[in-house]
Structures are given as C-alpha cells and as structure tokens.
Amino acid sequence: MSKRQLNAAFDSEEFLTQYWQKKPVLLSNFIPDFSDSLAPEELAGLACEEPVESRLVTEPEPGKWQLRHGPFEDSDFTQLPESNWTLLVQAVDHWVEDVADIKTLFNFLPSWRIDDIMISFAAQGGSVGPHYDYYDVFLLQGQGQRNWQIGDRCDSNTELVQGEELSLLQNFEATMEFNLTAGDALYIPPRFAHWGRATSDSLCYSIGFRAPSMAEMIEGFSDFIIKDQDPAQRYEDSDAQTELRSAEIKPELLDASYRQLTERLAQKQKFAGWFGCYVSQPKYPELIQPLDEELSPEGFAALLSDGVQLAKNPSSRFAFIESADKNCVLLFVDGAMVSFPMKQLSNIVAFCEVPGIVPGTSSHLLGDPEIAELLRQLLNQGSLLVSA
C-alpha cells in the first residue's frame, strides 16, 4: 500500500465521467503533503547513466529551443545557465522505488495503461515550448511552482514549427491557465495543446498513459495472425463466368475475397490473447534479465523458507483477461501469456494487485502449487526479483 494518499475529496467516478479523455482539469492538492522522491541533483545523476533515457532542453533566446539527448556528463550541468532550461528523465519509476509507488495511487484506471513516470526539473523560466501529446497525462507538481497554459485540441492538420527537433506548435492560444504548487496535478487529455513554464526551480512528475496508434495495432495483430495461417490456402475464384471485360474485378469476386480475409481477422479469442501480450510488453525489455543460474523447484522452496521476499521487477507489466467463455483466466507478463483454470482467478487477481510476494502474508499464493510454480518461473525470467 502506498505511503501517500489521494485527497479524500477526489471523486474518481466524477473524474472518469466528466474529464477522462474529455477535457483538462486542475486537481488541487491532489496528493496532500506531497514530498519529492528524489532531489534535482539525483535526477541529474540518473541522466548521466547509460541505460536511462534523458533529454535536456535549453532556450538560449525567447522562442528558440535546443534539444540534446543523454546520457550526460556532470560538466553538462555545471555549464548550464541559472535559468531557462529543463532536464527530462524518462521512466524514473523503473529506477526509484518511491517513484514507482506513485503509480499505485492511480488504481482507479487500468494499471496496464500506465506507460511510465517521467520527471522533469526546470530551472526558473524553463520550458519545452508549446506542444501536444497523443496520450493522457497527469502533471503532478513537486517542489517549486510551474505555470501551465492550455489551448484547444489539436489534430493531424495542426501546424507545427518547421525545422525543429521538438514538435512545437506554430500557433498557440491559451484558453485556460493554472499555477501549480507541490501536490497539485493537472490532467490533460490526448491532443490538447499545453505549455508549461517554471516560475521557480521546480520538479514535475508526468504520469503518462500508453496510447498505441491504430496503425501499430493493425500491424501487430496481423503479424500475430499470419503466424497461424496455412501457406497452402490460396485465393480461389467463386463461380467463375465467361469474361466479357477481361480486366474487370467483379463485385462478387471482391466480396468473396473480402469475406475470406475478414473471417481470418475476426477471431476475438485470438485477438484477446494478442492484445494482452501487446499491452503487457515492457517499455525497456533489456531491463528484464533472467537469473544467471535457473532456480529449481527445490531451490525456490528453500529460498522462501528462509523468508526471502520477492518484488515485481519495476520494468515488468502484468495484466489478465477472463476468457469470454469463463473457462479460463489468461495472465500476461512482459508480453507472454499463461492460461490458468478459472478456479485460479482470485489468485491471479491478487498477484496482479500486490507489489511483491512476502512469505507469511502471501501464503494463499505460495500454498498453491500451480501459483508457486508460476512465481518460480517469473523469478527465473527476471519478472520477479529477490527483494533487497
């Protein structure tokens, strides 16, 4: 359970009904008495690490932004001016447990939808310019203050500044404006123009939600379906007739081919399996590494008998689906699927909800041979870790 709590006045049902994916809203004092998970210097230290994705945005003159990608050197930060720059570090929840803890506060939304928590430090006046995103985001304010201006909803025809590495809006007109202090959060739905600027040295936690494009999903599912197709199945004419116009593709042939194709795509059960695998794919799969030496069932049992706790790899993703026929429950971990009988539903739900496995408190999971074997396999593949 998170050591932080949402404001008791926050009504998740009202939020989902009136604002989610509809319009921006300021959530004042969203997390009361909010304290930062790390200092700006620690964030800069992360940005110097090779596996960490980071960016540095400077504004050497008004309206002109420059972008650099990490990893950085300490000297990159000592050479910065006192104002008008922003450091952005992606997926800090993968590296800092206290940041990962913030995600548990958003359990009123599907956990598999959360992409990551990016943290930005902006020196006074720092900004990344007016832009829009294709995903939902909560902008949670840490130390300092930041001013946010919100514009209209954008689309593919919205004009962008040409020749910029950053996707900045050519024209930005604010319709709303907010000043955030520690614990405030600003929710912005997809494609709403927004522009933030630090009014003092400040930290901002961006909780972003995954939003794959339809093109990505069509490509992914079609690739998945292709694996099961018999290459011997070919196009066939239906009720061939004498051709009066030999170059014509007749409507009945077009309809038959369309029907054959859509029948192979319209497989809801296979789509469910693919979708679960797709949305549970880790953002950084290279951070999930198997054990150097596989742990046997006996070795796993000995580990637990010693009271060793297991924690979910912060880079791993977990989700489940009840099958349409209610005959089984499908568990998805890091892009892979495991099927369990329906009697395991409560155990699978419990496992997906907890941050880790603690001998004693997790006896209902460890006492089930089928679930215990699952945990052993997940530990071996790196989706579970031995807790420090």
Q: What angle do CA 128, 100, 18 make, to 5 degrees?
A: 65
Quickly state the pLDDT bin for 367 (edges 50, 70, 90).
confident
In a domain, 95, yes or no: yes
User: In this predicted model, what pLDDT tens digit does every residue of 306-357 receive, in sequence order?
Assistant: 888 999 999 999 999 999 888 999 999 999 999 999 999 999 999 999 888 8
One domain, residues 179 and 301: no
What CA–CA distance (Å, rounded) separates 218 from 129? 33
Higher model confidence: residue 238 or residue 161?
161
One domain, residues 121 and 221: no
One domain, residues 78 and 185: yes
Which pTM does this prediction carry?
0.92
φ, ψ at 305 (rounded to 5°): -65, -20
User: In this predicted model, what pLDDT tens digit does every residue of 10-68 receive, in sequence order?
Assistant: 999 999 999 999 999 999 999 999 999 999 999 999 999 999 999 999 999 998 999 99
Please determine, for residue 385, whether its predicted confidence score (pLDDT) is greater than 60: yes
- Contact indicator for 33, 183 with CB cutoff of 8 Å: yes
Quickly state the pLDDT bin for 360 (edges 50, 70, 90).
low
φ, ψ at 371 (rounded to 5°): -75, -40
CATH of the domain at 334: 3.40.366.30
Pull the structure tokens for residue 91: 């997926």
User: In this predicted model, what pLDDT tens digit does every residue of 274-307 receive, in sequence order?
Assistant: 999 999 999 999 999 999 999 999 999 999 888 8
- Contact indicator for 381, 290 with CB cutoff of 8 Å: yes
One domain, residues 204 and 218: no
Q: Which domain holds residue 304?
A: 285-386
In a domain, 241, yes or no: no
Report the pLDDT averaged over residues 138-148.
Answer: 99
One domain, residues 168 and 185: yes
What CA–CA distance (Å, rounded) separates 285 from 143? 32
What letter does residue 63 receive in the DSSP assignment?
T
State CA 251 to chain mean position distance.
Answer: 44
Q: Which helix (H) or strand (E) holds 120?
A: strand 114-122
The residues pairing with 208 across neighbouring beta strands, listed in sequence order, are 116, 137
- Contact indicator for 345, 273 with CB cutoff of 8 Å: no
One domain, residues 135 and 167: yes
Residue 361 has a pLDDT of 67
CATH of the domain at 200: 2.60.120.650
One domain, residues 62 and 204: yes
- Contact indicator for 116, 94 with CB cutoff of 8 Å: yes
Please determine, for residue 101, whether its predicted confidence score (pLDDT) is greater than 70: yes
In a domain, 280, yes or no: no
In a domain, 3, yes or no: no
When mean pLDDT is compared across 170-174, 226-230, 375-379, the lowest value belongs to: 226-230
Neighbour-count burial of 286, counting CB atoms closer than 10 A to its CB (0-12 exposed, 13-18 middle, 19+ buried): exposed
In a domain, 49, yes or no: yes
One domain, residues 293 and 262: no
One domain, residues 302 and 363: yes
Higher model confidence: residue 189 or residue 2?
189
Residue 237 has a pLDDT of 77
Please determine, for residue 1, whether its predicted confidence score (pLDDT) is greater than 60: no
One domain, residues 218 and 359: no
Considering its fold, how many domains does the chain have in total?
3
In a domain, 248, yes or no: no
Please determine, for residue 233, whether its predicted confidence score (pLDDT) is greater than 90: no
Residue 227 has a pLDDT of 87
One domain, residues 291 and 262: no
Percent of the chain past pLDDT 70, that is, above it, reads 97
Q: Name the 3-class secondary structure at 206.
A: strand
Q: Name the 3-class secondary structure at 27.
A: strand
What CA–CA distance (Å, rounded) separates 388 from 385? 9
What letter does residue 143 receive in the DSSP assignment?
S
Neighbour-count burial of 158, counting CB atoms closer than 10 A to its CB (0-12 exposed, 13-18 middle, 19+ buried): middle
In a domain, 182, yes or no: yes
In a domain, 101, yes or no: yes
What CA–CA distance (Å, rounded) separates 352 from 357? 11
One domain, residues 46 and 78: yes
